[in-house]
């Protein structure tokens, strides 16, 4: 009898805990039941969380609530709803997640506190506009030249392989890293040093994936496995800060005045800004250090991943590759590509857009935080809720994209074969916190692909190109070799 009573009490108590864990305001978006402590983490496979979350969207709708460990989250997978929410000032925050708080300390731009963010976002946007904006300028010319020089180095490297397979990720990282380190560390930073910094950053990115669960269940950091990750990370991170410190000190010896036609670095631009403000909490050297690491991190991995997917898709779909090449050869007629040429290359632009859709580099977006209650349609997103822009689901929505699993660049061409940019294509997200580096990223991708395809035919080394993805901070392809065959031979 006692055993029955005990069992009944345990069942009732568990039920009460479950009900409490799921008590919700009727205005909140619907969602699955959460378990105490872990919420719905058990439903997510870390390497395929974007797919699991998309499946939940099919069940609960384009806006749903879910708890990830201790973090109340709203997942949005409809482009119109996402725009409505992310355009609001109340959605400008970033959630407090253990790992990101640990490495960013509320400084820089991507995970900075809102007051720091406002200033730094304006500073970085002005800086990037001055070097890569739509207007023709000597500095923009200098940036394009720098990118072209780096592509030429890539071409030189690839030629030295004489048609044998090349491990793509390393070579592409070196190409992108050369440009980003010039912009963010300055021209005088020795190449070997910036290469080491990029490698270290790559380690940090990899570890951030291993450390992922700590974001939602911070007590895990006391377990030996996670404690080790944090201690290795701290070591690398300290070295990165020391390295950037040295770079800043070295650059500070030079006059911040730059010639009109030389490529500026953010160090110089920051120092100039600092000299106009007497005492400042934001324009100090510590902030600059975090900002540089942040910009370096946000720009390199994302752009490299996007180029890797483009090369792999073109190696797999040879007919598309040939069409792009023919368009490039006929429009450019042997001329070195410039960013301005893209508007006369609709099939090339459509192909780049289709890769950005079918392999959304930042599949789960970068999370936002509701700074106040947000009302959208008939729902309320409560203050302090994490907002996840599920970009993958937006790009794979069969109601928007006909047969979304198919790689079909022509979906971006209208009846006159002109490129059209649909509002549902959001690889750089949307709203006031959307990617600041969109234009630079497009330049890096286009100038690279346009040069490579005029010189080489890209082929697979393996019997099949593997287009399956592994989800880290970005959606990564599996490491594989491809061959670049000189088309003149």
Provide the binding-site residues for ligand HEM, judged by CB under 6 A: 109-110, 121, 128, 295, 298-299, 302-303, 306, 361-362, 365-366, 389, 427-429, 433-437, 440-441
Distance CA 401, CA 379 (A): 26
Tell me which long-range contacts 120-123 makes (C-beta under 8 A, separation of at least 24): 120/282, 120/287, 120/291, 121/433, 121/436, 123/269, 123/270, 123/273
Distance CA 93, CA 106 (A): 11
Angle (nearest 5°) at CA 442 between 192 and 409: 125
Answer for the pair 169, 470: CB distance below 8 angstroms, yes or no: no
- 23 CB-near residues (< 8 Å, 6+ apart): none
Alpha helices in 391-474 (DSSP H): 391-395, 438-455
Nearer to ligand HEM by Cβ, of 217 and 267: the residue is: 267
Nearer to ligand HEM by Cβ, of 229 and 353: the residue is: 353
Compute the least distance from the CB of residue 122 to ligand HEM, in Å: 10
Compute the least distance from the CB of residue 356 to ligand HEM, in Å: 7
Nearer to ligand HEM by Cβ, of 146 and 459: the residue is: 146
Answer for the pair 311, 448: CB distance below 8 angstroms, yes or no: no
Nearer to ligand HEM by Cβ, of 217 and 393: the residue is: 393
Distance CA 86, CA 389 (A): 9
DSSP string, 340-400: GGGGG-HHHHHHHHHHHHHT-TTTT---EE-SS-EEETTEEE-TT-EEEE-HHHHHT-TTT
Compute the least distance from the CB of residue 6 to ligand HEM, in Å: 50
Compute the least distance from the CB of residue 54 to ligand HEM, in Å: 16
Compute the least distance from the CB of residue 473 to ligand HEM, in Å: 11
Compute the least distance from the CB of residue 283 to ligand HEM, in Å: 17
Nearer to ligand HEM by Cβ, of 366 and 458: the residue is: 366
Answer for the pair 270, 122: CB distance below 8 angstroms, yes or no: no
What the block records as the tokens of 410 is 């022509």
Say which residue the tokens 């071409």 belong to.
155
Compute the least distance from the CB of residue 108 to ligand HEM, in Å: 8
Nearer to ligand HEM by Cβ, of 325 and 433: the residue is: 433
Nearer to ligand HEM by Cβ, of 57 and 230: the residue is: 57
Distance CA 79, CA 395 (A): 9
Q: Which residue is nearest to ligand HEM (CB)?
A: 437
Nearer to ligand HEM by Cβ, of 121 and 274: the residue is: 121
Compute the least distance from the CB of residue 42 to ligand HEM, in Å: 27
Answer for the pair 256, 70: CB distance below 8 angstroms, yes or no: no
Compute the least distance from the CB of residue 109 to ligand HEM, in Å: 5
Nearer to ligand HEM by Cβ, of 226 and 296: the residue is: 296
435 is in an annotated binding site: yes
How many helices and strands in the chain, by DSSP H and E?
A: 16, 11
Collapsed DSSP state (helix, strand, coil) of residue 415: coil
Give the CA diameter of the chain: 90
Nearer to ligand HEM by Cβ, of 39 and 365: the residue is: 365
Distance CA 421, CA 398 (A): 18
Compute the least distance from the CB of residue 50 to ligand HEM, in Å: 13
Compute the least distance from the CB of residue 107 to ligand HEM, in Å: 12
* Half-sphere exposure for 73 (CA within 13 Å, toward CB): 29
Nearer to ligand HEM by Cβ, of 101 and 459: the residue is: 101
| Neighbour-count burial of 488, counting CB atoms closer than 10 A to its CB (0-12 exposed, 13-18 middle, 19+ buried) | exposed
Answer for the pair 445, 310: CB distance below 8 angstroms, yes or no: yes
Distance CA 452, CA 311 (A): 10
Alpha helices in 61-137 (DSSP H): 79-86, 98-104, 114-132
Give the residue numbers of the binding site for heme. Answer: 435
> Annotated binding residues, as ranges?
435
């Amino acid at each position: 009898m006692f055993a029955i009573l005990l069992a009944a009490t345990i069942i009732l108590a568990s039920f009460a805990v479950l009900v409490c864990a799921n008590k919700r305001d009727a205005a909140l978006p619907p969602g699955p039941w959460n378990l105490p402590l872990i919420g719905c983490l058990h439903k997510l496979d870390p390497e395929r969380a974007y797919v699991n979350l998309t499946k939940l969207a099919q069940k609960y709708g384009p806006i749903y609530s879910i708890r990830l460990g201790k973090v109340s989250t709203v997942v949005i997978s409809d482009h119109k709803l996402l725009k409505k929410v992310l355009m609001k000032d109340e959605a400008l925050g970033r959630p407090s997640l253990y790992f990101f708080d640990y490495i960013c300390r509320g400084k820089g731009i991507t995970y900075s506190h809102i007051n720091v963010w406002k200033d730094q976002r304006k500073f970085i946007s002005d800086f990037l506009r001055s070097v890569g904006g739509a207007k023709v300028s000597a500095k923009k010319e200098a940036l394009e030249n720098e990118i072209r020089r780096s592509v030429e180095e890539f071409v030189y490297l690839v030629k030295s392989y004489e048609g044998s397979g090349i491990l793509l990720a390393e070579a592409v990282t070196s190409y992108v890293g050369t440009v980003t380190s010039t912009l963010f560390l300055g021209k005088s930073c020795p190449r070997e040093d910036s290469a080491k910094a990029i490698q270290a950053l790559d380690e940090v990115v990899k570890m951030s994936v291993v450390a992922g669960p700590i974001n939602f269940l911070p007590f895990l950091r006391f377990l030996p496995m996670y404690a080790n990750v944090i201690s290795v990370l701290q070591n690398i991170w300290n070295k990165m800060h020391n390295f950037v410190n040295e770079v800043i000190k070295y650059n500070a010896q030079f006059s911040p005045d730059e010639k009109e036609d030389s490529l500026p670095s953010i160090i110089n631009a920051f120092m100039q800004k600092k000299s106009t403000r007497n005492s400042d909490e934001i324009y100090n050297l510590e902030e600059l250090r975090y900002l540089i690491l942040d910009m370096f991190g946000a720009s390199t991995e994302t752009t490299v991943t996007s180029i890797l997917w483009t090369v792999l898709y073109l190696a797999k779909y040879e007919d598309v590759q040939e069409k792009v090449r023919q368009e490039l050869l006929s429009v450019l007629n042997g001329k070195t590509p410039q960013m301005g040429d893209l508007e006369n290359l609709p099939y090339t632009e459509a192909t780049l857009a289709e890769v950005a859709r079918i392999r959304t580099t930042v599949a789960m977006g970068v999370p936002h935080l509701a700074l106040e209650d947000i009302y959208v349609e008939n729902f309320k997103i409560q203050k302090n809720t994490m907002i996840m822009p599920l970009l993958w689901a937006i790009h794979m929505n069969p109601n928007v994209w006909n047969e979304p699993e198919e790689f079909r660049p022509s979906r971006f061409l209208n009846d006159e074969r002109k490129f059209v940019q649909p509002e549902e294509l959001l690889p750089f997200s949307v709203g006031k916190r959307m990617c600041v580096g969109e234009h630079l990223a497009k330049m890096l991708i286009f100038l690279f692909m346009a040069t490579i395809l005029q010189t080489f035919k890209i082929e697979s080394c393996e019997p099949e190109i593997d287009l399956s993805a592994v989800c880290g901070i970005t959606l990564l392809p599996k490491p594989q070799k491809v061959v670049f065959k000189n088309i003149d031979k």
